[in-house]
Structures are given as structure tokens and as C-alpha cells.
Structure 1
Amino acid sequence: MNKNVVYIIGLLMMVTSCSDFLEPKSQSEFVPKNAVSLNEMLLGDAYPQPNVSSCYLFSLQTMLDDDICCSSLPYTAYQVAQLPGYNALYSWQPDMFYLMGEVNIFYNVWESYYQFILGANAALDYIDDMVGTYEEKAIVKAQSYALRALYYFNLVNLFGEPYNHNKKALGVPLKISSELTSTLPARNTVEEVYTQIEKDLNEAEKFYLSLPESSQFSKNYRTSLPMVQLLKSRVYLHMERWSEAAEYADKVISDWSFSLVDLNTLPAPTAKEPYYNFISFDCSETIWLYGSVDDVTKYNKFIIGGQDKQPRWYMFNASTDLLTGYVGGDLRKERYIVKEYSDPTIYLTFGKYLISSTHVPSSGTEFGVAFRLAEAYLNLAEGAALSNDPVTARAAINTLREHRFTPETYTPMPELTGQDLVDYIRQERRLELCYEGFRWFDLRRYGMPSFSRDWVVNGEKVATYVIAEKDPSYTLPIPEQVLEKNKNLEQNTLANPR
């Protein structure tokens, strides 16, 4: 066994706090003996899974966009000391992470992503030293490239400027090896990060295509060829390579057996199961499951009521602008967005995953995020519309909407073209993918429009916060803890305090 392999496993044990897999009684238990063992280690070190309490990757995006607002209900605050931290995040303050840390609600997303990247890098660095067949090694490589691409895509869209706005701006450091160096990495440009993302996705696709079809996709919670194809489509939308976005979305739709769920056919809600779980392989739209409900709801399920015989209220609600987009007969509003248990007229900022009988997101072992077929139809529509193919674009949207409306209310979309068609598709995207982490990234690539949000405390509006068009706040500040550890990193341009 190459002693470097043993060394990197030890390194993972020291720095990766996100996985119970890395809590051994002895280091030798976790030194992989062959490619199959390394594949198992990859699951523990490079995949975000439920029941991992110390890593949060996906909780920020939902708190930043125009689909969320403050509850207008009066209350006796349950955790009033934490309100300044939530306010800092909600109002896009330039020192949001410091203020969140002051009230113990800061979780270092930057470091968490790089911990998972380290797991993917280690697998790629050492897989060729392992004993195993070509197929056993290729499946490890395919997964590792796919995961690394996803993590860098999310990182650069949190901490770098939008690709279509300024691809020469600073993005995030590219670390594509597990090797330790004496020089701390500086930030690569947004363009360089996207180039690496595309390269990784091409490698992942190549290795998946070299495998038997049975190894290209299975419902085993690992990445797959259709997951890679959908991620490529997503990345190409951000790069404004419209025809390629449409091409890869169509591969997901046409080459695989996933199917859209007809919301008319879902079981009727019951007191025990008030909402259908779309983030599950029982759902025919699901391509890949990852992350946890605890992660994606870390901030938006902040409770403000529940004291002095009050009902339990949540601080954050669905915005009026989102809710009014659902017209009569559209079943998504009731199926996708959870209501307050104590007041069913109030819509919250979560849903689609497993929800308890009291309308609480189920924690622990439940997945919180999915690659869904619906995204492929939306990517196909937008890519086709912007590639001068309105017929394909309208057909994709009509197929999606036909599965979302009651039969008596469904009508095909108007025969729009040009920007009107693009705007229609993007509105459908907002309604379909709400609270799945897309909206903030989409607003960035739409030109970073201005919008405002009210801060309401105990039923009274105390402030209105405005994010201006192309505001620096559309790019998050790098946490101070990260800058202190790496003096080669340059902070983003920060907005003025609000």
C-alpha cells in the first residue's frame, strides 16, 4: 500500500467532521484495500447525506431570494436572542456571517464544501493505485468528478460574481488534488472555475458512458449519468450556451425512464401524511437524492411562537409575489408549499420532502434535495427558446403544466415568442422549483434585479431592505474565519450596511 494513501486517509480523519464514517477505533480500519473499498469510503467522505449534523451546504440560498418574507403575526419570541443573526442574513448585510456567529447560528458553508471536495480529490488521486477491475475504478472516477463539479458550481455561485455578468471576476480557489502544499491557494476567476466544472462533467460523462448501462444509473443514492447530464444542462444555462443546455436536458427526458408525476393522481392528503414526499425514489421524477432536510431548513424553519400558550409560528413565510403566481387549477401551490399547522391560510418556505402530521419538516434520516425531471423540462424550454426554437420550448412547458393542473383548468400556454416566451418559462421555473435552492442562483443569471423585503417583528414592520440591481450583495462575503486562515484570499466587494 502506497504510504501516501494511508496519509490522506489520516488527513480526512482529522479534517472531515461531517461524517460518522470517519470516527474509527483505529486508523487501519479505514485504509482502503481495493477499488471497492475506496468506493465505499467515497460515500462517507464525498456525499452529503442525512444524519450528518455538522455540515450545512444548502441552507443559505432559500433565505436570500424574493420567494421569502417575514411573518406578520404577533408573537412572544421563542429565541429572541437569535433575531439579529437572522436579520443580518435576511437583509444581506456585508458582515452577515460575523453577526450570525455572534448569536451562534453561523455554519461555515465554504469549509463544508471544501471538505467534501477533499473527499472527491482523494478518491481521484488514489484510485489508480487500488486493486480492481476497470469498471470498479471507472465508477469511482465518474462519481468523484460529478460531485466535485456540483460543489464548485454551488461555491462559485455563492461567492463569485455571475458568469454572464463578469466571468473575469474572482471566483473560488480551485483545489483539484488532495496533496498538501506549502502555498495557500488564491482565488481563481469565475471563468476558470466554470472551465474546471465543465471539464469534470465531461470526465464524469465519459466514464459513465464507458460502463454497462446497468452501472450508469441505479436507485442507490449515488450520482449517475442522468444526474451528470442534468447538471451539464444547468451549468450551460448559467454559461448561456443555450443549445447545449437544451441538448442535455433532452437527453435526460428522452434517454431514461423517468416520468413526470401527474399531481391529479397523488393520494389525497391525510392527517398523518398531509404532503406527498417528492424527494424520494418512490417519486418517478427523482434522478438523484442528496443532502438532508435538516440542512436545507436550517434557517427558514426558525420558530417564533410557541410560548405563553401561543401556537407555534414560523418566522418566515412564502412571499405574496410567489403565491399570486399560482393561478386557479394549478395544484403546485397546495402540493409543494407547506402551510402553518395552526393557520392554514399561511404558506411557509419549505415543502416537497417528508412533512410530519403537524407540518414540521422531518429530520434525521430524510433526504432534503433532489435532481428532478421537472428541471430538465424547464431547462429544455429555456434553452430552446433562446436558441430560436419556440415550438420545442412551448411543447416542453405544456407537457409540464399538463401534469400540474386539474384537467378542467389546463390550457396550453399562449404561442409566445422572443423575450415574452423566455419570461413565461422563467415564471414557470419559479413556480415549479420553489424552495429547492434555484431562485437565488437564477436571479443572479437574470441580471441581478432589484427587489425589497420587509423585516417584521412581533407583527410590526420595522425596516424595509432593498437589494439594488446588480448589487454587490448578490455575491456573498467570504467568511472572516476563512480569510484569517488563508491570507492569499481577497475579500469580495462588499455592499454598504443596510
Structure 2
Amino acid sequence: MFFPAVIISLSACTGKLDIKPDQSLNVPETVADFQALLDNAEIVNAFIPSYGEAGADNYYITDTRYNGLSANNERNTYIWAKDLFPVNDIAADWYYGYVRVNYCNLVLEGLEHITTGIGTTAYNNVKGAALFSRALSFYTLAGEFCKPYDSATAATDPGIPLRMKSDVQIIYQRASVKATYEQVLADLAAASELLPDITTFKTRPSKAAAYGLLARIHLDLRNYREAKNYANLSLAIYHSLLDYNTLDTASSLPFDMFNDDVLFFAGLTPTSLLRMSSSIVDSVLYGQYQNNDLRKSLFFRDGMGNTKLFKGTYTGNPLYHFGGIAVDEMYITRAECYARLEEPVHAMEDLNTLLRTRWKSGSYKDMIAKDADDALKKVLTERRKELLFRGLRWIDLRRLNKDARFAKTLTRIIKGSIYQLPPNDARYVYPIPADEIIHSGIEQNAR
């Protein structure tokens, strides 16, 4: 037995992860045991970081709702305040991100000590899944707690602590942003060699999902050729899109959690800021949907007055939003890459393929782009309309702010006071939780 107990509870700080034994549980020793550990969907497939989505521009809340928020960190997140996570305040995105990392490390270490089943399909699936989930955790943490990747400064910009061992006594300092992304890409490259093309259970990662996550990350890094290639690989395995004409527009939750679009199922961390019953969709965004666009009735429902609320999550649950990987993201990611690589015809082919499944049958007219720049603008407009409330808007804002054509100043108005977040502002990087700073002494982000 290589460790005394499975992980049940961890503190908020990576430097003081406390393993607490539960005597009712057996110590994992076999491939099946490690698969069972990764099948704990309440940890491995939940709590994908959502502070970024909460800081983005797809919604707003009323003064009354703002005053009623129960946590100071939520109020401060909404207005992009300097201080967010005081001492003894649980920063859920950081906390659960490293809980998931520790699960993965326990599995990877455990696989090194088994003597039977090595190299089998089951063994490869488990190892690939652990590498995938660790990569997803590191990447989503970096998207909130690190500066956006800049090749000129990535080697010196502080990244995140890269916990590679389950030993809770080890205090990890922050790696560089460059090293952070190198580790993420290395984990995913290894995972993609081990995972099956498609899995029966969408809570388990597949090769198609690993390629999908690689496409997402390379798009974020502005490596458009690589992003296109990985989107190609993902779509070559699975490319069927959910036809929105088959859904009930009157339903309060029209999408099943394992619908045909989903490659890998995961949910964002629940937060009151993104509550579907009270977070009002940006009216300018809603106004971009045309009447024959089925997303207008499948994604939204009426709120108070003339407001609209979001209902189109792929979780099938009103309590939290979808944070996984889906086929529609692959089409629109590849379309953007084609546009940026001066291939507007291919960009519009992908965009039109997607949108034909989103409009009422027979009503959609294919869009045509006059050039690559026009194609890019059309794709980015549809990207926001298709992928809203999936934990992607914040990273899109961060990368698009690097391009003056698409840079945007975000604005909130609360009780008559105006709060703004200019492009490339330091507040696009969230502060490390205070407890982590106190315990490990790692560098705090400038705000």
C-alpha cells in the first residue's frame, strides 16, 4: 500500500492539503480502484472555475440582487474589486481545482505501484483520464490566476503552483506561465495517446475530448494552426451536431446533460452571480439573435419586465452551468482558425454547418464572407452567441483584448456608481487566496 488513505477532504490552500482517512473506504490498489476514484464526478467533473465567467460581460444583476449577495467575494468579483479572497474565505475555484489535481496525482502515483494490468486498455484509460483532468485543472486555474500567455514574457510571468505529487507536506512555489502551459500541453499529449476515441460515459474523457481541449488551449495561446489541427483531429473522431429543431423550445431546461453535442461533461462552480433565476442576460447580446434562430427560445426565457434569463445550459440542471467540451465549440474554433489563417471559405463552411443546426429547418441562409477579416468578425460574433455561460468568455476577452479590433471595456453600474474593466487591465488576473499566500509565501498577483 503506497498511501494510507484516499483523499476525502482538503483545505483551501495547496500548501496544507489534509488527507483524512475514511475507514469505510478501501485503499485503492487496482486499476479498477483508481477508475472508481476518478469516477467521483462530484469532484472530478464539478467545480470547473467560474470566477472568470462571473467577471465577464454576458449578464448583469440588479442593485437589489447585488445587495443580497451573501459573500463579499461575490460582490467584489462583480465590480472587479482589488481584494476578493480575505483570510479564511474559501476561494472555491482555487480550492476545488487543487482537490482535483490531488485526486489525479494520487491515481498517477498509484498506477506506478501496481504489478498487474499495466498497458491494458483499462490501465491506459485510467492513466489518460488522470492526466487529462490534471491538465484541465491546471489550465482553468491559469486562466484566472495567471496573466494571459505572452511569448515575450511567459518565461518570467508567474504561473501557478504545479503540484505534481500528492505529498501534502511539499510546498510548491509558482512556476512560470511558460512552464505552466508546457505542463498542461505535456499532460494532454500523453493523455491523447492513452485514451479511447470515444467513451460510453461522457463524464470520462476521450481522445476526442483531449484533442478538443488542446484545440481550446492553442486558440487561447493564439497558435491558430495548432488549434485548427487539433480541432480537425477531434472532429475526425466525432462531428455530429445536436439538431436544435428536435428540442422543445417551451421547456424550462431544454438540453439533456449528455446530449449529442457533449464530448466531455463537466460543470462550473456554482455561484450566486451566475444564478439562472436572477442573472439578467445582456440586452445587446440578446438582441443579436434573430427570430428564426432557435437559440433565442432555447437559450433564454422571460424575466421580470423586459429582461431575459439564461436557461440553455448543457447540464440539464438549473443550479450550475456547463463547463465541459462540446462539438459546437470545435466547429467554431476551427472556423476562427481558418479565418485567421486567411481561409475565409473554409471558415464560413464550418460556421454555416453549425448554424444550420441552430435555426428553424429551411429558414437559414448560408453566410458569405467578403474576405478573411469579415469572416473573423462573423465567427467571433457567433462564438459569443453559441458558447455563452460555459466558462469561456473570460479567456476569450483576455485573448481578444490583445487585438485592438476586438478589445472591449466592460462596465457595471451598481447604485448609480460606474465600475469599469479596461482591456488588458491587471484585474484580468485574479488574486491568489490570502490563506495560500500566508501558508506558502508564494508571490501575490498585482491588482
With over 3 angstroms needed to count, the CA separation of the structure-2 counterparts of 1:420 and 1:408, relative to structure 1, is: same
Shift of 1:149: 0.7
* 1:493 maps onto 2:436 in alignment: no
* 1:82 maps onto 2:45 in alignment: no
CA distance, structure 2, for counterparts of residue 78 and residue 148 of structure 1: 34
Cross-structure match for 1:189: 176
Write the mapping of 1:169-318 to structure 2, written as runs, cut at 5 A. Answer: 169-180=157-168, 184-208=171-195, 216-256=198-238, 258-269=239-250, 273-278=251-256, 280-281=257-258, 283-291=259-267, 295-301=269-275, 314=278, 316-318=279-281
Per-residue deviation, residues 209-237 of structure 1 (Å, max 9, x unmatched): xx6x6xx4222521111110100110110
Shift of 1:416: 3.3
* 1:454 maps onto 2:447 in alignment: no
User: Would you say the 8 A contact 1:59–1:298 is kept in 2?
Assistant: no
CA distance, structure 1, for counterparts of residue 429 and residue 163 of structure 2: 21
With over 3 angstroms needed to count, the CA separation of the structure-2 counterparts of 1:424 and 1:368, relative to structure 1, is: closer
CA distance, structure 2, for counterparts of residue 15 and residue 23 of structure 1: 8
* 1:138 maps onto 2:124 in alignment: yes
CA distance, structure 2, for counterparts of residue 100 and residue 438 of structure 1: 28
* 1:422 maps onto 2:419 in alignment: no
With over 3 angstroms needed to count, the CA separation of the structure-2 counterparts of 1:146 and 1:482, relative to structure 1, is: same
* 1:167 maps onto 2:150 in alignment: no
Residue 299 of structure 1 aligns to a residue whose secondary structure is helix
Shift of 1:15: 2.6
Cross-structure match for 2:31: 35
Q: What is the letter of the counterpart of residue 62 of structure 1?
A: E
CA distance, structure 2, for counterparts of residue 206 and residue 286 of structure 1: 21
CA distance, structure 2, for counterparts of residue 171 and residue 235 of structure 1: 15
Q: What is the letter of the counterpart of residue 183 of structure 2?
A: Q
Residue 148 of structure 1 aligns to a residue whose secondary structure is helix
Cross-structure match for 1:15: 10
TM-score by length of 2: 0.88
User: Would you say the 8 A contact 2:202–2:263 is kept in 1?
Assistant: no
Residue 120 of structure 1 aligns to a residue whose secondary structure is helix
Unaligned runs of 5+ in 2: 13-18
Per-residue deviation, residues 435-463 of structure 1 (Å, max 9, x unmatched): 1111111000112634232334xxxx421
Which of 1 and 2 has greater Rg? 1
Residue 437 of structure 1 aligns to a residue whose secondary structure is coil
Q: What is the letter of the counterpart of residue 228 of structure 2?
A: A
* 1:386 maps onto 2:340 in alignment: yes
With 404-413 and 382-391 compared, the bigger mean Cα shift is at 404-413
Residue 302 of structure 2 aligns to a residue whose secondary structure is coil
CA distance, structure 2, for counterparts of residue 99 and residue 462 of structure 1: 30
With over 3 angstroms needed to count, the CA separation of the structure-2 counterparts of 1:490 and 1:327, relative to structure 1, is: same
Q: What is the letter of the counterpart of residue 205 of structure 1?
A: S
Unaligned runs of 5+ in 1: 51-55, 303-312, 356-360
Shift of 1:319: 1.0
Cross-structure match for 2:3: 6
Q: 1:97 aligns with which of 52, 61, 85?
A: 85
Cross-structure match for 1:153: 139
Q: 2:288 aligns with which of 311, 325, 349?
A: 325
CA distance, structure 1, for counterparts of residue 41 and residue 21 of structure 2: 13
Q: What is the letter of the counterpart of residue 282 of structure 2?
A: S
Shift of 1:475: 0.8
Shift of 1:137: 1.8
With over 3 angstroms needed to count, the CA separation of the structure-2 counterparts of 1:320 and 1:81, relative to structure 1, is: closer
User: Would you say the 8 A contact 1:142–1:205 is kept in 2?
Assistant: yes
Q: What is the letter of the counterpart of residue 148 of structure 1?
A: R
CA distance, structure 2, for counterparts of residue 176 and residue 193 of structure 1: 12
Give the paired residue count: 433
CA distance, structure 2, for counterparts of residue 84 and residue 34 of structure 1: 44
User: Would you say the 8 A contact 1:233–1:249 is kept in 2?
Assistant: yes
Same amino acid, percent of matched pairs: 23
* 1:346 maps onto 2:312 in alignment: no
With over 3 angstroms needed to count, the CA separation of the structure-2 counterparts of 1:437 and 1:14, relative to structure 1, is: closer
CA distance, structure 2, for counterparts of residue 90 and residue 207 of structure 1: 41
With over 3 angstroms needed to count, the CA separation of the structure-2 counterparts of 1:89 and 1:42, relative to structure 1, is: same
User: Would you say the 8 A contact 1:60–1:299 is kept in 2?
Assistant: no
Residue 424 of structure 2 aligns to a residue whose secondary structure is coil
Per-residue deviation, residues 39-90 of structure 1 (Å, max 9, x unmatched): 212223894346xxxxx44331221111112337xx6x69737385543111
CA distance, structure 2, for counterparts of residue 301 and residue 45 of structure 1: 21
User: Would you say the 8 A contact 1:261–1:284 is kept in 2?
Assistant: yes
Shift of 1:472: 0.3
CA distance, structure 2, for counterparts of residue 237 and residue 46 of structure 1: 29
Residue 128 of structure 2 aligns to a residue whose secondary structure is helix
Residue 325 of structure 2 aligns to a residue whose secondary structure is strand
User: Would you say the 8 A contact 2:254–2:312 is kept in 1?
Assistant: no
Q: What is the letter of the counterpart of residue 112 of structure 1?
A: Y
Q: 1:401 aligns with which of 348, 355, 360?
A: 355
Per-residue deviation, residues 376-395 of structure 1 (Å, max 9, x unmatched): 10111111222222221110
With over 3 angstroms needed to count, the CA separation of the structure-2 counterparts of 1:490 and 1:251, relative to structure 1, is: same
TM-score by length of 1: 0.79
CA distance, structure 1, for counterparts of residue 249 and residue 297 of structure 2: 11
Residue 323 of structure 2 aligns to a residue whose secondary structure is strand
Shift of 1:424: 1.6
Residue 264 of structure 2 aligns to a residue whose secondary structure is strand
Q: 1:108 aligns with which of 92, 110, 134?
A: 92
